[in-house]
Amino acid sequence: MIFFDIDGTLLDYDTAEKNGISHFFQKYNDIFSGNELEAMKLWHELSEKYFNKFLSKELSFEEQQGMRMYHLFKAYGVNLSPWESQHRFKQYIELYKNNWTAFEDVHYTLQTLQQGGHSLGIISNGDYEQQVKKLTALNILQYFKYIFTSSELGISKPDPEIFHRTALQLNLEMKDYYYIGDQLETDAISSTAAGMQGIWLNRDNSQLKYDIPTICSLHEVLTII
């Protein structure tokens, strides 16, 4: 059984977010003109801060969305109501979704693994509905037999318990699982700590060294599994 992360592993998340928020800044040019780089840095910080609050159950998925947008505009002197915050986040989300693309190594790798008799699954931090929409938009949903997300399991990576709960539901031994993700600590180290065979997808070819199987492209999965 082979499990995958989604964002940064299958979906080119960084490009989608960068293009989406850039187009959003253009839409509100009167506020962000001349401050785009600064605003993008702030957006990344707010996204990480409030998404982590969702993962820790301090905020709902919708609440963390609104908080990100509220504090972005507040930094530039604009106070949004809760409704306005959600409305503008929906505007951003549409621009973000328009830029969802799969990495070039995704389709061939998934198809080859499936044709080779491997069962494939997803373990992802995030909202189940949104993650399924991503897989659908990338035209890869059909490859996955199982989809587990933190919103449904009630726990998130890097807590190894998310992998234990997945294994328990499928009644399989941890050692029989592979888990592939682009984040060294959140994906590879945590899944290995849980007893899975974690693989780090080092797309940026980072020079970090760790005693975990490491690949730079999903095509390499075909040579080690």
Residue with tokens 């973000």: 96
The pLDDT tens digits for 73-99 are 999 999 999 999 999 999 999 999 999
Residue 209 has pLDDT above 80, yes or no: no
pTM (2 d.p.) = 0.91
Mean pLDDT of the region 154-173:
93
Residue 206: pLDDT band with limits 50, 70, 90? confident
CATH of domain 2-12+101-224: 3.40.50.1000
> What is the number of other CB atoms lying within 10 angstroms of the CB of residue 201?
26
Each domain of the chain, given as residue ranges in start order, spans: 2-12+101-224, 13-97
Is residue 204 classed as helix, strand or coil in its secondary structure? coil
What's the first-to-final CA gap in the chain, in angstroms?
A: 10
The pLDDT tens digits for 19-65 are 999 999 999 999 999 999 999 999 999 999 999 998 888 999 899 99
Is residue 6 classed as helix, strand or coil in its secondary structure? coil
CATH of domain 13-97: 1.10.150
| Cα distance between residue 183 and residue 131, in whole Å | 17
Residue with tokens 């930094």: 75
